[in-house]
Amino acid sequence: MSVPGPAPHRWLGRRRSAHEYAVDPVGYTARLYHGYGPVAGLVRGDRKQVFAFGPEHNRTVLTRGDTFHTVLEYAIPQGIRDARRGIGLLNMNGPEHRKARRVATPSFKPQAALAHGELIARLAAEEVDSWTPGEPFDLTDRMRRLTLRIACLCFFGVDIAAQADRIGRMVQDMLALRYFASSIRYFPFDLPGTPYRRLLTVIRRLDGALADIIDARRGGSGVSGAAPDLLQSLMDARDENGDGFGDDQLVGQLTTLLVAGHETSSNTLAWTLLLLSQHPAELDKLLASVPERPAHASAALDFPTGLDHVLKETLRLLPPGPNTSRIAVAPTTIGDHEIPAWCQVVTSKFATHRDPAVFPDPLRFLPARWETARPSLYEYLPYGAGPHACIGAAFADLEMKTVLATVLGRFRIDPAPGAAVSRQVGLMMAPKGPVPVIARPRTDPVPSSTAVTGDLHEMVDLDGETRWRLGWQ
C-alpha cells in the first residue's frame, strides 16, 4: 500500500517538502499527523522518508534495533565519522552498541547519579547567586553555561576545573555550528572557510583535549573527591567478559554525552521556567513546596512531588527531541505499509504526547495531571525508548530538579517586557535566540503583565483563546 502524504511540488518535487521539514520539523510533522493518518510520507508515495505516529509504531520502530538503526551513523559525513567523535552510543548500532551500552550502564544508574548531587547543587548555587535581582539576562544562555559546567566537572572532576572549562568552551564552539547542519551534511568538503572545516577543527581540538586528560588519568592522576567522576567510572567499567573502553571509545562516548546531555538539560530548564512564568498559579503552588534557600547555600536534594510533576509536564509538552529518526536497514512493514530498505522512518514524541485519550486537555500545562496519569513507555517517552533510550536520564533528572530547586529557592523568573518565545529545532528543540528574563525575589508580587509572544502559543495553550495550535484542539 502506497503511503499517503502531500503531493510533491510541481517543479521541485520532494525537495520542496524536504526543505519545509528542515526549516520547521515540528510544524511539518503536525500537518502530516493531522492530514494523513498514522503513517505518512514526506510526500505522497515517498519511499525515502516515512512518518509513523502513535504508541504502537513507537514500539515497533524504537525497539527493533536490528531492523531500525540510528540515523546518525549514516548522516554524519565520513571525515567526522573517522574522528573519535563518531564513536559514541548515539552513533552505534547492533552488537557494537549493545556491548558499549553494557559497559557504560553502571556509570549511569540512579545511585551513580546521586553521587554527583552535592557538586551539582553547589555549581547551581554559584550560578544563581551571581544573578542581580531586577536586571534582565538571557535565560537560555545562562542555562547552557550552567549545564555545560555541571557536565564538565561531573565528567572530569573538580581537580581539573580549568581544563574542564576549556573543554566547555570547545563544546560551545561545536554547538554554535549546529545551525550549519544542512550545509555541513550536503557540502562535506574540507576547504578553508567552510562550516565543515570549522567543525572538523573544533572536533579535532576537542578530541585532543579529551585524549590528554585520559592519558594523564591513566598515568596515575587520580581523583581526590569523595565520588569518582564519570570519566573514572567509564575507565573502570567492564562487561561480563572483562572488556572495557579503549581510549578512542572513551573520547567518543564522552563527546557524545557532553553535547547531547548538556543540550537536553539546558533546553528543558529554560522551557520549564518559561512555562511557570506563564502560569502564576502553578508557580505559586510550587514555590509553597520548595524551601526558601539563603544566598550561597546549596539546595536540599529532597525534592517535593510537585517539582517532579512540573518537570514531567514540561517534558510532555516540549520534549527535547520532538522527533526521532531511524533507518530501516532491511525491508519491513509498519502497519499496512511496506517500508523499503534504507527508508528513513520518523516517530514523533511531540505528537504522541498530545493524544487526548492519554492526556486530556493535551495543550494545557497541567502538572497536577501527573497525580493520576500512568502512560505506558510508548505513550510518554521524553528520553526515548528501546535500545537507544537516553542512558543519562537519571543524571538529567537529578540535575534539572536540583537546578530548579536552586532557582526557585531564591527567585521567581519573569519574562522581560516584550519577550518573544519561539522554537528553534535541530536535533533538539530549544527556545529561539535570546530570551530576556528578570529574576525577582520569591515574595515579590507578580508583575501586571508577564505574557510572552512567539510561537510558543502554537505548542501550548497559554491563554485559553482560540488560536492555531498546529492542528490540535
Q: Which residue positions form the known binding site for heme?
A: 390
Beta pairing, strands 337-339 & 332-334 = antiparallel
Q: Cα(327)–Cα(62) distance, rounded to whole angstroms? A: 11
- What are the cell numbers at 76? 554524519
Q: Cα(470)–Cα(33) distance, rounded to whole angstroms? A: 10
Other Cβ atoms closer than 10 A to 219: 7
Work out the widest C-alpha separation in the chain, in whole angstroms.
66
Binding-site residues sit at: 390
Q: What angle do CA 227, 228, 231 make, to 5 degrees?
A: 150
Read off φ and ψ for residue 40, nearest 5 degrees.
-145, 150
Helices (H), 132-194: 139-156, 161-176, 181-186
Q: What is the edge-to-edge ordering of all strands in the sheet holding 436-441? A: 136-138, 436-441, 411-415
Q: Cα(149)–Cα(128) distance, rounded to whole angstroms? A: 13
